[in-house]
Amino acid sequence: TYSFEYWILPVVTMGLQTSASIMRMTRSSMLEVIRQDYIRTARAKGMNNKSVMLRHVLRNSMIPVVTYLGQDLGALMSGAMISETIFNVHGIGYLTYQSILKGEGNLVVSIVTLLMTIFMGVLLFSGRTAPQELVALYASSYGAVMTYYFTRQKEASNGDGK
């Protein structure tokens, strides 16, 4: 259990690049949505500016942002392993890094399978990725992990590993 001070630097490290991209994308998407006809219609009906911005502009401009967040989750997961190791935070990234160093293939396969399942679920619910693409993504990543695992097992049985 870490107190709040221990989480400041890892969270800032992980979120700074993503937040800048999200802010830029949200701004450009909102500027695009503001020019739509239904926004002018809502203002012509007498809705106040705050209501138009929240109900119509922000809601419709968040569609590409949520899609980007779903796709950026993979980068955040891989970055978690690096930042957790640097800041000595014992999370799933640190566990993955330690299991790779120790050659615990079963744990590496299990963690990657879990993370890929979460990543695919987020991509599926973001709505921009076809299920066929997800199956191909899962198969290729799982195949890479299994190849790593069996290579390590073969090296260990020959006495070359670890």
The answer to whether the beta carbons of residues 36 and 63 sit under 8 Å apart is no
pLDDT tens digits for range 20-58: 889 999 999 999 999 999 999 999 999 999 999 998 999
Residue 128 pLDDT: 62
From first to last of the 162 residues of the chain, give the pLDDT tens digit.
567 887 888 888 888 878 888 999 999 999 999 999 999 999 999 999 999 999 899 989 988 888 788 778 777 877 888 888 888 888 888 888 888 888 887 888 888 888 888 877 777 777 666 666 666 666 666 666 667 667 766 777 776 545
Give CA–CA dist 17/71, Å, rounded: 14
Residue 40 pLDDT: 92
What's the CA angle centered on 135, arms 130 and 137, to 5 degrees?
A: 95
Residue 132 pLDDT: 67
Angle, helix 105-126 to helix 131-158, in steps of 10 degrees? 170
C-alpha dist (Å) from residue 60 to 34, 63, 77, 117: 10, 6, 27, 28
Rg (CA), the chain: 22
Give CA–CA dist 162/156, Å, rounded: 7
Give CA–CA dist 155/162, Å, rounded: 8
DSSP symbols for 72-92: HHHHHHHHHHHHHHHHT--SH
